[in-house]
Amino acid sequence: MKKFAKVLLAVVCASAVAVPAMAQEKKSSISAFGNYSKYGKSKDASGNVNLNYGYLVSPKLEVGVGVTETFGASSSTGVGGSAQYYLNPVGVPKQVNPYGKVDAFVLDGTGFTATQFGAYVGVAYSATESTEFFVEAGTQMQSQKFSGRTVDDDGVLVQFGLKLRF
């Protein structure tokens, strides 16, 4: 799983260079964001660092693929996908743009595997046509499998990030 995540990360970074025709349309994006989370039934907390490649399929709808690295109480690497719907068209400078987002990830950690689903509401601020800062809050549901037993948990988290459009 970690090797796959590294390959996906390389593809995401290479796509920013390999698609110069899209630079004028700004349909592609790369976002980096992170969070600190504590699940309800667990006494332990962890943090995530995420990298996502997104593509605007319409002026308001963006789909993406990404990698996540979890550290803290439980370390893992994951890959997944997301869909994000903005209330206004994206890329308008000096605009505040609310949105909703859902995502799903498959995680592989030391001694466990997990499936994670999330639903978020957020606000993005477009500083320029191609630079966007965002904050989102939401809930995640996670199902972890340890040595033959399954533990389901959910939690609330806040994520902060930067998105570059090209």
Query: Which backbone phi and psi does 27 adopt, to 5 degrees?
Result: -90, -20
Structure tokens at 115: 């499936």
pTM above 0.85, yes or no: no
Which of the 8 DSSP states describes residue 2? H
Among candidates 100, 35, 95, 18, which has minimal Cα distance to 62? 100
Are residues 37 and 157 in contact, defined by beta-carbon separation less than 8 angstroms? yes
Query: Which backbone phi and psi does 10 adopt, to 5 degrees?
Result: -65, -40
SS (H, E, C) 90-102: CCCCCEEEEEEEE
Are residues 129 and 165 in contact, defined by beta-carbon separation less than 8 angstroms? yes
Residue type, 98: P
In which region does residue 20 sit, left (phi positive, over 0), alpha (psi from -120 to 50) or beta (all else)? alpha
Per-residue pLDDT of the chain (166 residues; tens, 9 = 90+): 555 555 555 555 555 444 443 334 789 999 999 987 665 666 667 788 999 999 999 999 999 999 999 887 678 899 999 999 999 999 899 999 999 999 999 989 877 888 999 999 999 999 999 999 999 999 989 888 877 788 887 888 899 999 999 9
CATH number for 23 = 2.40.160.20
Enclosing domain of residue 108: 2-165
Structure tokens at 33: 């964001």
How many structural domains is the chain composed of? Answer: 1
According to the model, what pLDDT value does residue 67 have?
Answer: 95
Q: How far apart are CA 66 and CA 13, in angstroms?
A: 11
Which of the 8 DSSP states describes residue 24? H
